[in-house]
Structure 1
Amino acid sequence: MDIDTRLLRYFATVAEEGHLTRAAERLFISQPALTKQIKQLEAQLGVELFTRSRTGMSLTDAGRMLAERVPIVLEDWDIALRETRGAASRASHVLRVGFVASAANESTQKIIGSFARYRPGWRVEMRQTGWSDPTAGLADGQVDVALLRLPFPGQDALRVEVLITEPRWVGIPSTHPLAELAEIPFRQLWDEPFVATPTESGWWRDYWLATDERGGRPVKIGAIAQNPDEWLTAIANGYGVSLTPEATARFYQRPGVTYRPVTGVSSSQVGVAWAPAGDNDAVIGDFVRACLRHRTPTTVEPDTRTPREEAGSG
């Protein structure tokens, strides 16, 4: 019997969390979709894996047996998949770099230039994903390394070096009365409808809605956007406002959208991220070293350095 590894991954997350809602947030999918996938796995195996109750999901005897073995299977498969894809890209001297929106802002081209000097003959292939995957393909091995907005779900399981720290601004319809202000206190935005990322993006969505910085005030959702173009269109059409990095005002100009600094809300960061398996990969190490050469002065220095960075400043 052949089982989709995606179903096993979903099962393992539910088994670990013991709760569908928390598992769905970790997996960046909706709870109904996750429920459907678990039922599909049970149907294929012909056994019941969970006992469902109001308090959560508890494993059956069959579920516990599967839960003991699935993590090993998934780990071996992830390693095989990552090494297979990595071997293909290495053979063609291509480094796959994921990103979601503006990558590392204006430093992106400088980073690629430094990497090219470290690795003559190599090419950086930039791969952009939608907002439903804040890891930009890093979590499932689609890319070797990524330039990402921090924080993001799954960050604790990866290696991350902070490169940029910048304030959060707000994108607002140009006709909105608040657009006349030079800067906007976040408190004045609490009752505004917001343009949000998809629910699949988990607590990354909550971060950009600043749910923890509203004094307990609930968020009003005016529209959902999958990517920057949908986001800009929703704001220009007056469906809502949205917090965004300061760099967005430079990279994403659109008629009908005005950007303003926001006070009373925390800053945003950009980091370079890679899987722990890449610690001994000299090519990934050189890319990280290139990133660190162009860290912005406002960024707080990290407590630790990558092995490649310790070897020399380049």
Structure 2
Amino acid sequence: MDAHIRDLRYFVAVAEELSFTRAATERLFISQPSLSRQIRQLELSMRAKLFERDRRTVALTAAGAALLPMARQIIEQWEGAQRAVAVAREDRILVVGFQTRIGRGLVPSITAALPEWDLRFRQVPWRDPTVGLGDGQVDVAVAWLPMPGDGDYSWTVVSTEDRWVALPAGHRLTSHAVVGFAELTGEPFVALPVSAGPMRDFWLANDQRSAPAVVGAEAETAEEAFELVASGRAVALVSAGNAELYRRDDVVCRPVAGLPPSTLAVVWRRDDRRRAVRALVEKFVSCMCVSP
């Protein structure tokens, strides 16, 4: 079985960090067991052991050391191919990635403002913290911060929105006009996948807790999250805008006191200097009030 580019990215991350934990949590934003499985599959595919590991150390084998420069070269060539294709299609297509409904009047405004471009909109599951930018499937993303902190992305903030809580109809807190964050202590929460990285922690508000949130269920999309809330399995933090966009009879949304707001941004790859990308970013910004 042939290896995928993703497998080579995982291998390079472990080889450079010499730590499965750091590679998984700080660079790849996936769980360590998932990373270990992918490396084992790559080793089976290559029919060679790539790492020597024990409880304390990780080291490249001779086979791993031989693969590393070639893996880097293959990744670089693939990224070059993606850029070449993007440049070739610049006069026709731009793909915008999103994970929750864009709404807020953006889609018709942007489409009308850029009639010369064939704009396509693609929903990306929450398991991809780069919102499709990482593997080149989108050119520009409308994304909730934080983004992965590897320096590969630039962004401009277009909106700052308070965080609300989505509750199942009939929940004890639906009678409150505003819910204090402390009142949610002990509630099971809908979580993004572990691979979502820092976004998972943000939408669980773990940095505002003395102990991590109780996870009642995981969801890949906003639609799944609202279904889980409606079923009574968990509650979920959402932005004020999405509380309105995803309004339904079996879910009640209330503002939460005591949490810093959420931030919506237009994001692009730092090394993507195409005129079309800059034009699209500028149109997004001009169509919304930029937060100071």
| Both proteins in one fold, TM over 0.5 | yes
Give the Å deviation of 1:58.
2.8
Give the Å deviation of 1:69.
4.4
Does residue 241 of structure 2 align to residue 254 of structure 1?
Answer: no
Q: Are the equivalent residues in 1 in contact too, given 2:156–2:265 (CA < 8 A)?
A: yes
d(CA) in 1 for partners of 2:62 and 2:276? 45
Aligned twin of 1:6: 6
Give the Å deviation of 1:56.
4.7
Aligned twin of 1:23: 23
Aligned twin of 1:242: 236
Gaps of 5+ in 2: none
SS in 1 for 2:271: helix
Give the Å deviation of 1:46.
3.5
Give the Å deviation of 1:90.
3.1
Give the Å deviation of 1:223.
1.2
Count of residues in correspondence between the two structures: 291
d(CA) in 1 for partners of 2:154 and 2:225? 29
Q: Are the equivalent residues in 2 in contact too, given 1:15–1:67 (CA < 8 A)?
A: yes
Give the Å deviation of 1:154.
4.8
Q: After the TM superposition, which residues 172-251 of structure 1 pair with which residues of structure 2 at under 5 Å, given as runs?
A: 172-215=167-210, 217-251=211-245
Aligned twin of 2:136: 141
Letter in 1 for 2:193: P
Aligned twin of 1:287: 280
d(CA) in 2 for partners of 1:55 and 1:211? 28
Aligned twin of 2:68: 67
Cα distance per residue 1:75-112 (max 9 Å; x no partner) = 2211212322552x435x12111111123633343233
d(CA) in 1 for partners of 2:110 and 2:99? 17
Aligned twin of 2:102: 103
Q: After the TM superposition, which residues 14-163 of structure 1 pair with which residues of structure 2 at under 5 Å, given as runs?
A: 14-25=14-25, 26-87=27-88, 89-90=89-90, 93-103=92-102, 105-116=104-115, 120=116, 122-154=117-149, 156-163=151-158
SS in 2 for 1:278: coil
TM-score under structure 2 normalisation?
Answer: 0.91
SS in 1 for 2:33: helix
Give the Å deviation of 1:50.
1.4
SS in 2 for 1:222: strand
SS in 1 for 2:174: helix
Q: Give me the identity figure in percent.
A: 39
Give the Å deviation of 1:260.
0.7
Q: Are the equivalent residues in 2 in contact too, given 1:12–1:71 (CA < 8 A)?
A: yes
Deviates more, 1:249-258 or 1:95-104: 95-104
d(CA) in 1 for partners of 2:161 and 2:32? 34
Aligned-pair RMSD on alpha carbons?
Answer: 2.1
TM-score under structure 1 normalisation?
Answer: 0.85
Out of 153, 163, 166, which is 1:168 matched to? 163
Give the Å deviation of 1:16.
2.7
